[in-house]
Amino acid sequence: MHVPSVILSSCPDPLKEELPFSVELDLAQSHHLLNVLHKKRGDAVNIIFSEFATTGPATISSTKDRVCVLSVKSLQTSVANRKLILLAAYPKNKTADFIVEKAVEIGVTQLIFFFSEHSPRAPGKSEVESRQTRFSRIVESAMKQSGNTIITKVSFSDSLDSAISSLQSESERDNWNSPPPLKLVLTPGAPTNLLAIFTNSSSPDCLDIPETIPLEINRNHADAIIIVGAEGGLSPREQQLALDRNYRGVSLGKNIMRMETAVIAACSIARIAES
């Protein structure tokens, strides 16, 4: 049976509470559990404290006055076994909303929109802040719908260069898992097929994988970073920049895909192969 998730974005640090402890939901969240999902006292839910990247099982202990009180039994840090990071050229706003939603459902751990030379336009600072607020709501909604307990971080970067540099700084600061991450850039016509990197394919024309990382590590154990360009792909300068930063050009086959289709295909391959 599907266990629904409740996401709390602003609350005291749950790790300072003595287990078990109670959390009172607001009217909107209570209404959703009781009237939309038809949950009742004693039913199980997952509670996610997004600010602290912490999750845990809970039960509905009270529904007095149609307000749900949850009893939290245990807590754990909400961390993916393997990071899946998507660097996506910023598309039109409607497409960006769709990409955020599907990234959460698939299990992308971090999504960085960069302003590509082929992006429709770069929004101003106030619009970026507005989009961030909207993305937060989309992330929360998609987590509830999918049951995903891993919080997808969504951010903006001025360019592909700055996005790659910020990830490099983050990996050095946080000491990401060894071996180093798979660094892939979607490149139409590339001889290496993305599917081959994450599966046991033996096709000689698509197993062009760096020799510095053992094949089984490449497929199953390293974090992965995937760059996807806007409609029309990356500019020649951006493509070369990615290659110079040791990203590997990979393709999704012969067909030309829309950006959002390529995002879903690439990220799904990476996540399904892991499981």
SS (H, E, C) the chain: CCCCEEEECCCCCHHHCCCCEEEECCHHHHHHHHHHCCCCCCCEEEEEEHHHCEEEEEEEEECHHHCCEEEECCCEECCCCCCEEEEEECCCHHHHHHHHHHHHHHCCCEEEEECCCCCCCCCCHHHHHHHHHHHHHHHHHHHHHHCCCCCCEEEEECCHHHHHHHHHHHHHHHCCCCCCCEEEEECCCCCCEHHHHHCCCCCCCCCCCCCCCCHHHHHHCCCEEEEECCCCCCCHHHHHHHHHCCCEEEECCCCCCCHHHHHHHHHHHHHHHHC
- Whether the per-residue pLDDT at 162 is higher than 80: the answer is yes
- pLDDT for 177 equals 59
Q: What is the mean pLDDT of residues 201-218?
A: 44
- Whether the per-residue pLDDT at 33 is higher than 50: the answer is yes
- pLDDT for 154 equals 93
Q: Read off the pLDDT of residues 41-99 as tens digits, 9 standing for 90 and up.
A: 999 988 888 766 678 889 999 998 889 999 988 887 766 678 899 999 999 999 999 99
- Whether the per-residue pLDDT at 203 is higher than 70: the answer is no
What kind of architecture, by CATH, is found in domain 5-77? Beta Barrel (2.40)
Q: Please indicate whether residue 170 or residue 175 has the higher confidence score (pLDDT).
A: 170
Read off the pTM: 0.79
Grade residue 209 by pLDDT with cuts at 50, 70 and 90: very low
Q: Read off the pLDDT of residues 88-147 as tens digits, 9 standing for 90 and up.
A: 999 999 999 999 999 999 999 999 999 998 888 777 778 888 998 899 889 988 887 887
Tokens of 6: 């409740």
Q: What is the mean pLDDT of residues 33-38?
A: 90
Q: Are strands 248-250 and 182-186 parallel, antiparallel or unpaired?
A: parallel
Task: Give the residue extent of every domain in the chain.
Answer: 5-77, 84-274
Grade residue 214 by pLDDT with cuts at 50, 70 and 90: very low
Tokens of 160: 């592909």
Q: What is the mean pLDDT of residues 243-271?
A: 91
CATH number of the structural domain 84-274? 3.40.1280.10
- pLDDT for 53 equals 66
| Mean pLDDT for all residues in the chain | 83
